[in-house]
Amino acid sequence: MLIRRRIDIILSLVNECGLALTVTLVPSIGNRADVLTRVPQSWLKMLAVGTVVLPSVCAAAAEPTTDKLVTEVHHSRGHPGVKQTLYFAKRVDPAVTKEQVCMVVSSCEVCQSVDRAPVKWRIGNLSVEVIWQRVGMDITHCRGKSYLTLIDCGPSRFTIWRPLRIQTSECIAEQLETVFFERG
């Protein structure tokens, strides 16, 4: 109810002020906010050595059938990280270990192809002076559910969460349309 009320406020502002909203897909390499949220690869390597069993040990410990199960769960759930893949895999087979999941996720080509931060953000400000001129968007997970998160980069810092049935581009586009183009 609160979200609908806030969306109605936005839509009434659009109508009253004659605003034109444009939704633009910004690739990761061109998104200045992504630069701030990326974790440097060197940090991940340091963590892997200290807290996770190394891949060679994982390979020796894991059974092929378990690896196949973990791989299927990892791919079918949209390539989540180790923690979420472990959660979903344990729902199917409680004997799955974190080390097995680590091995599968670290060898996943899709996960390894994620564009890491091309540059380090040193100076500047991501905020804008006009409300809803720039919107940050991400997928948020809370209590086992996925939400589309929209954050106004303007002075209001207004945030909208929209529940996602599944994490697909069609579902995300559908939610964006309901936020910016539909009434009530």
Kindly report, residue by residue over 61-88, the tens digit of the pLDDT. 345 688 888 998 888 888 888 898 999 8
pTM to 2 decimals? 0.35
Last residue of a domain, one of 92, 112, 132: 112
Verify that 108 and 45 share a domain, yes or no: yes
| 171, 135: one domain | yes
Mean pLDDT score, 149-159: 86
Q: Which of 62, 83, 112 is the last residue of a domain?
A: 112
Q: How many domains does the chain have?
A: 2
53, 30: one domain: no
| pLDDT tens column, 31-40 | 776 666 666 6
Residue 150 CA neighbour count, 13 Å, CB half: 24
**Shared domain check, 63 and 102:** yes
The residue segments making up the domain with residue 103 are: 41-112
Band the pLDDT of 53: cuts 50, 70, 90. very low
CA distances 181 to 7, 101, 146, Å, are: 10, 41, 22
In this prediction, residue 121 carries a pLDDT of 62
The pLDDT value given to residue 41:
60
Mean pLDDT within 154-163: 87
Q: Which residues contact 88 (CB under 8 A, 6 or more apart)?
A: 73, 77, 80
- What pLDDT is recorded for position 117? 55
- For residues 99 and 49, membership in a common domain is answered with yes
Q: Which residue, 80, 112, 144, sits at the end of a domain?
A: 112
- One domain for residues 95 and 32: no
Task: Assess whether 131 and 161 both reside in one domain.
Answer: yes
Question: Residue 158 above 60 pLDDT?
Answer: yes
Q: Which amino acid is at 54?
A: L
What is the pLDDT averaged over residues 146-174?
Answer: 88
